[in-house]
Structure 1
Amino acid sequence: MSDASPGSAPDEPAEGEGRGSGTDAAQSSIQSQMRAARTEFESQVAHARAEFEEANERIKQRTGRDLILAVLIGLAIGAVVFVSLVFFTWPFVIFGSAAALLGVFEFTRALQGAGRRVDVVPQLIAALAVLLPAFFLDLWLHWVALFVAIAFVVVWRLISQMVARDGRRYDDVIDDVLAGGFVVVYVPFLASLALVLLRQDHGAWWVMAFLIIAIASDTGAYATGLMFGRHPMAPRISPKKTWEGFAGAAVAAVIAGILLAWLMLELPWWAGIVLGVVILGTATAGDLGESMVKRDLGIKDMSSWLPGHGGVLDRLDSILPSAVAALALYYLLTPLVVAS
């Protein structure tokens, strides 16, 4: 029985009971708000992801490229090239030579798929014979290696055809020989000129500069062409390239050329304009040239080794002829640094 007398006041709540109830209510309110905020955040992320995937799908349908994979792979390759040029040179020699060999392999297989008889093994041997002297031997030996490599490929093909005795027509044999010689000149020789540039004084900065300008040109063309492209530039060669994209490439290349000439190469600003315009021209010509080759072979990409990009040679198309221009500009413009 209770000790309280009748009519006495009711029992008071225990000390802290009311305060604890209020604290529990406040905590419950905070937790509810946090759950609501998290739910809203997840909803916003899901919505943004859906919009991005939809936009990426539209881009993929228009260009045939997966934008996400293309960006990720491009950044990874760019990081490897940047580190190899800034800190060491021999990793770039290995990386560049490997890329050129893969390009030779892709091109050779594409030609074989189109009915041309081009031999993979001698092409790879010839590529190494051209690439290695470019960095390790004198320049005149590099030229000797080029002619020896072409002769090696030609003789191998002619002997292979004599052994085959399959009645292949004379015109087809000549086309096979010319195709094999073209592979040697187009891929390993042009790539080797980047290695010739690399061995010059401050050559690593020049290699990095022309690569950045070529990539800036490609990126500017892609972005502006995607957003504003209306007028085809060369519809019979590459229907998706537009004059609007070329304008974007020109702006990007010139801006990159000026900044790199000033900050990296210690050249006058106007030399940066020359550098940007020349690399713009060679990058565009290389891109259109490879598109013409692929159209002639009846293929869209040289391979599918780089998702979002196509093949290795599809990434080297604008870089290979730009190496020629960069080496020539090095010899023409470096006296300006000495004079200043």
Structure 2
Amino acid sequence: MADDDLDPTPVPPRGRRRQARFELEFGDFEPAERGRRRRRGTRGTDDRSVTSSDELTYETADPLPAPRRPRDRDVIVEADDATYDSRLVDRDQRVRGRSRRARRADAPPADDVADEIEALERFEDAIETVRSPSDRGGGSDLGARVLVAIPAAIVAILLVAQGGWIFVVGIAAFGLIGVWELCRMFARTRPSLVASSAGVLAIIVSAALWGREGMTTALVASIPLIFLAVAISVPPGGMPGVAVTLLGVVWIGFALGHAVLLRDSDHGGGIVVNVLVGTFLGDTGAYLGGRLFGSHKLAPRISPNKTVEGLLIGIVTAVVATWFAGLYQDWLSGTDALLLGLAVAIAAPAGDLFESFLKRDAGTKDAGTLFGPHGGVLDRLDAAMFAIVAGFYVWLAMGGVS
């Protein structure tokens, strides 16, 4: 048989590897039409032709364009990597760090490490409530709480009693420490400590000088400052850094600004004392009630030690404590004291859970170390910051704020 009778179109060989090599040399193939293909046999000395009407012939197609090689500054589209590191170079550094740790002979896989860390955190939270006094270096946990609460209560009473700019300066000092603790917890997001501190100070001073309107103006003015500070930082931060910086201004600044507004209102010193009494005694009641009667977890994924029974006992304790404090204030009726106590009893646990949620997301047990084993400013004032805001608006509805 003559060579002219053969089909000139190359036929892709069988097998995935041979097919891939063939496509690299001749390009991709697409089936064109059913027809006849003839092939010359090679066995022996005789030529042999094979005819099949069901086999396919192929025609070449344009090969796909080669994918573009990613660059270091390309934005990452994966959700887990884009949370805090928004560039490929950041992701590569983190991956190389994981690889170095994985190459160690005694290092388990990354997934096992994460599981062990989570298990240890849960174990620490569970064992915290059953430690013996000797494990804590002497004294019970309740005794340590009292030892920390007594000087803190004395400082709070002195600041509230003085009022005016002494109260403002003391509140501002707590605010700056709280902002530092927040930025330290989320340092990987690269927030701006300077911008957040400036925003908190501006809100507190504006509240003392111009009231609620001044606070709102200070917040609006701090937003472009936050953007510029995070953008020009070295290394520059992204949207998570802006969010953490703005969180410090709104959460800490607005709460302490409302404390200044409440202190400057009619009978403001007494109302601030009532709010603090309800907050701290309610927290103590929730702690003791949870240890004695707690069996149903309130929010195990946020704070494993809190229970529903402790929450209910804490609410009752806060309401009773606020009402009892109002008995020594002839300008506050019993009904108003109960309403104020109910607002404090609901807002304070929400503030506590909010800060626990932030610490859980940051992977830390305490926000700071100012109060020794009981954490920092945010750990001690988390519930009070929510309760102060609620107490201000309840007192405003009662006509106590002019």
Q: What TM-score, normalized by structure 1, do the two folds share?
A: 0.73
Offset at 1:234? 0.8
- Partner-residue secondary structure (3-state), 1:137: helix
- Alignment equivalent of 1:222, drawn from 287, 297, 312: 287
Check whether the contact 1:89–1:204 (CA below 8 A) recurs between aligned residues.
Answer: no
Higher share in strand: 2
CA deviations on 1:12-45 (whole Å, 9 max, x unpaired) are xxxxxxxxxxxxxxxxxxxxxxxxxxxxxxxxxx
Q: Which residue of 2 aligns with 1:81?
A: 156
Q: Which residue of 2 aligns with 1:95?
A: 170
How far apart, in 2, do the equivalents of 1:97 and 1:237 lie? 29
How far apart, in 2, do the equivalents of 1:229 and 1:309 lie? 21
Check whether the contact 2:197–2:249 (CA below 8 A) recurs between aligned residues.
Answer: no
% identical aligned pairs: 32
Offset at 1:66? 4.5
Q: Which amino acid aligns with 2:145?
A: A
Check whether the contact 1:66–1:308 (CA below 8 A) recurs between aligned residues.
Answer: no
Q: Which amino acid aligns with 1:328?
A: Y
Question: Is structure 2 residue 230 aligned with structure 1 residue 153?
Answer: no
- Alignment equivalent of 2:313, drawn from 248, 259, 277: 248
Q: 1:265 to 1:86 in 2, by over 3 A?
A: farther
Taking the TM superposition and a 5 Å limit, the aligned residue runs for 1:308-327 are 308-327=373-392
Q: Which residue of 1 aligns with 2:299?
A: 234
Q: Structure 2 stretches of 5 or more lacking a match?
A: 1-130
Question: Is structure 2 residue 208 aligned with structure 1 residue 131?
Answer: no
Question: Is structure 2 residue 252 aligned with structure 1 residue 179?
Answer: no
- Partner-residue secondary structure (3-state), 1:334: coil
Question: What's the RMSD between the two structures over aligned residues?
Answer: 2.4
CA deviations on 1:310-331 (whole Å, 9 max, x unpaired) are 1110011101111111110111
Taking the TM superposition and a 5 Å limit, the aligned residue runs for 1:236-315 are 236-264=301-329, 266-315=331-380
Offset at 1:150? 2.8
CA deviations on 1:62-91 (whole Å, 9 max, x unpaired) are xxx944343222100101211232344433
Check whether the contact 1:101–1:127 (CA below 8 A) recurs between aligned residues.
Answer: yes
List 4+ stretches of structure 1 deviating above 3 A.
Answer: 54-58, 65-69, 87-90
Q: Which residue of 1 aligns with 2:145?
A: 70
Is the deviation greater in 296-305 or in 252-261? Answer: 252-261
Q: Which residue of 1 aligns with 2:133?
A: 56
How far apart, in 2, do the equivalents of 1:86 and 1:160 lie? 41
Taking the TM superposition and a 5 Å limit, the aligned residue runs for 1:98-113 are 98-112=173-187
Q: Structure 1 stretches of 5 or more lacking a match?
A: 1-53, 166-171
Check whether the contact 1:154–1:180 (CA below 8 A) recurs between aligned residues.
Answer: no
How far apart, in 2, do the equivalents of 1:316 and 1:127 lie? 15
- Residues matched between the structures, number: 270
How far apart, in 1, do the equivalents of 2:170 and 2:133 lie? 30
How far apart, in 2, do the equivalents of 1:333 and 1:261 lie? 15
How far apart, in 1, do the equivalents of 2:233 and 2:163 lie? 42
Offset at 1:266? 2.5
Higher share in helix: 1
Structure label with greater radius of gyration:
2
Q: Which amino acid aligns with 1:103?
A: G
- Partner-residue secondary structure (3-state), 1:126: helix
- Partner-residue secondary structure (3-state), 1:287: helix
Q: What TM-score, normalized by structure 2, do the two folds share?
A: 0.63
How far apart, in 2, do the equivalents of 1:176 and 1:278 lie? 33
CA deviations on 1:260-288 (whole Å, 9 max, x unpaired) are 33323633222222111111111011111
Check whether the contact 1:220–1:248 (CA below 8 A) recurs between aligned residues.
Answer: yes
Taking the TM superposition and a 5 Å limit, the aligned residue runs for 1:25-44 are none
